[in-house]
Structure 1
Amino acid sequence: MFTGKAPKYKVYRDHRNEWRWTFYAANGEVIAVSSEGYKAERDCLHGITLMKTSADATVLVEE
């Protein structure tokens, strides 16, 4: 777990030797995890970039 003043991404290899990421809030709580494993680290890092750029996505509320 990470703690500090800023949110952080952790990039790591899983049990299948695939790359994954976990996004931590500044308080160390997990906010999001990658939904897939990546064969290449660069693809995992690209997934993080996509998450960052889609942070202003529309919020849909279903009732």
Structure 2
Amino acid sequence: MAQVTYPCYWQKKDASGHWYWIYYASNGKAIARSSESYVAYDDCQRSVEILKASSLSAVFYDN
């Protein structure tokens, strides 16, 4: 098994056998989790790919 490096996404199965991801920051702490679980691994993987591709998206905030 490969050595885990941070930051990273970790894909796991929940108690019902559905896939979800957790994002770990560079300090190894979990800071985000998928808002839903996925029946298919590929759907979970696609969710991670969408997030990674949005890293250059604008950030908006309230004053």
- Pick the TM interval, shorter chain: 0.7 to 0.9
Q: Secondary structure at the match of 2:20?
A: strand
Pairs aligned (count): 60
Q: Which runs of 4+ in 1 moved over 3 A?
A: none
Deviation (angstroms), 1:60: 0.8
- Gap regions ≥5 residues in structure 2: none
TM-score, normalised by the number of residues in structure 1: 0.83
- Gap regions ≥5 residues in structure 1: none
Within the alignment, does 1:38 sit opposite 2:14 as a pair?
no
Identity of aligned residues (%): 35
- RMSD over aligned Cα atoms: 1.5
Partners of 2:40 and 2:30 lie apart in 1 by 23
Deviation (angstroms), 1:23: 0.6
Residues 1:20 and 1:5: Cα distance change in structure 2 (over 3 Å): closer
Deviation (angstroms), 1:28: 0.6
